[in-house]
Amino acid sequence: MKFNYQRVNTVSEALEVLGGNNKPGKILAGGTDLLVMIQENIISPDEVIDISGIEELKKIEEASGKIRLGALVTHGRITSSEILREKAVVLVESCAEVGSPQIRNLGTIGGNLVMASPSGDTLPALYVLGAEIILAGKEGERALPIEDFMVGVKKSAIRPDELLVAISFPGMGEDSRGFFKKLGQRKALAISKVSVAAVISFQDGVVSSVRIALGAVATTVIRTPRTESCLVGQALTPEVISEASRICSEESRAITDIRSTADYRDEMAGLLLARGLGEIA
């Protein structure tokens, strides 16, 4: 297992290295996924580019109602951020479910996105927050809605000469509530069999807008437009929650794989949604 290792300290240095490689290099941030894949011979990169020293990618900023997370912000920092606890609680809850404390203190939000696993805990949360992914290249930055960034199982729209530098999304308002629910084989340190994230806004006691996303049920995270439409204009009564749960199970369109069956995933998607809505109600 041999590869060339380079450590960079700025985004421009990273882009110079990426742009000059004949063969695409692998980016090392927290290393919680990359190093495991190298050790298990899943991948054999010719070059590893360590970006963990780029301080500008470790910021959590808020301006004009939008929150910007640097790609190197760790899951642990997200769970302890007062701004995010107030204005992105759904992301905080999802990051709290990632791995162990050690993994959360090393693993980065950018790394989770680039891995593009359908079972990635933070991804449904970023979907319902309406996140944009900021990619830097030699021609400058471009922003992609997260729906366009995630293109398949462990496939994203990032180009070989680009670096994911930040994630941007509007902060949740005072009239909004959110939740993240996950089902795994165990209570902790488990890969999701199914997950549900939601952000719901209220006006005069009824739902004025809602975004729901399901993780680990399909090849990418999916939205549930029929379920969302069912909830808009309604108070969260037991009857409304029950109907939303039923429609959500229908919209899940889950797949069967080594972790679970489609039927089980579909049923649990509805159940997790009902639990989250019930807690909000």
Residues 8 and 93 in one domain: no
Chain segment 217-237, per-residue pLDDT in tens: 988 999 999 999 999 999 999
Q: Among the three residues 151, 170, 189, which one is the final residue of a domain in this structure?
A: 170
Confidence at residue 19, expressed as pLDDT on a 0 to 100 scale: 82
The string of pLDDT tens digits covering residues 101-155 is 888 888 999 999 998 887 789 999 999 999 999 999 989 999 999 999 999 888 9
Is there a domain that residue 55 lies in?
Answer: no
CB neighbour class for 4 (10 Å; exposed up to 12, middle 13-18, buried from 19): exposed
Phi, psi torsion values for 170, nearest 5 degrees: -70, 140
Considering only CA atoms, which of 196, 200, 275, 272 is closest in space to residue 230?
200
Predicted local confidence at residue 183, as pLDDT? 87
Instruction: Check if the beta carbon of residue 184 is closer than 8 Å to that of residue 216.
Output: no
Asked whether residue 198 falls in the same domain as residue 225, the answer is: yes
User: What pTM value is reported for the model?
Assistant: 0.93
> Comparing C-alpha atoms, which of 78, 150, 144 is closest to residue 119?
150
Provide the domain limits for residue 37: 4-50
Task: Please tell me the distance from the alpha carbon of residue 137 to that of residue 133, in angstroms, as a whole number.
Answer: 13
Q: Both 181 and 274 in a single domain?
A: yes
Residue range 11-20, pLDDT digits in tens = 999 999 888 7
Is 257 inside any structural domain? yes
